Amino acid sequence: MILEKCPAFSSAWETYQESWGRDESGIYNDIAEFATFIVDAYERRDTEIVSAAFALLEEFLVNGDEEVRTVASVGFLEDVRNISSWRPFGSGPFVQCLGPQSKVAWAEIEETWRGKQSLADVVRSEIRSQEKK
C-alpha cells in the first residue's frame, strides 16, 4: 500500500531492499526507511508526498489491525519524530499533517518521551512500569 499511495518511494525502496541482500530486514527497519524518506521529502519541500504519507498513516490507524496500528504509530510516527528532531525544522511541522487518530498516537509518543533523552531512557522507563504491575 505504501508504494501504491507514495510511488515516489519506489526507487528508494528498491535501493534499500538491495542493501539487505538475502537477509530479512524486518518491518520496523522497513518503516524506518519510509519515515526517513518522508522527512527527507519535507526537507525538499515535497509536501504532496508528505501529505500522501500522513493520509495513509491515518488510514492504517483507523482500519488496520493491532499490528498495523502499532507499526504505524510506534514505527512510522515515532521514527518521523526522532529523525526530524535532528533536522533544523524539528518535528513540529509534521503535527500539521496529523489526522484525528494520528494526533492521539503522536500525543502518546510525546508522553512516552517526556523527560527522556534517549531510547535507553524510554526502555528503562517501560521496564520499570512493567515491574510495578
Residue 126, pLDDT above cutoff 90: no
Number of domains in the chain: 1
Residues 39 and 77 sit within 8 Å (Cβ to Cβ): no
Name the DSSP letter for residue 87: S
The enclosing H or E element of 73 equals: none
Residue 53, pLDDT above cutoff 80: yes
Instruction: Give the global pTM.
Output: 0.85
Q: Which domain covers residue 45, as residue numbers?
A: 2-132
Q: Can you give the pLDDT at residue 59?
A: 95
How far is it, in rounded angstroms, from Cα 124 to Cα 97?
30
Residue 121, pLDDT above cutoff 90: no
Cα→Cα distances 71→4, 8, 29, 65, Å = 18, 21, 10, 10
Q: Can you give the pLDDT at residue 109?
A: 86
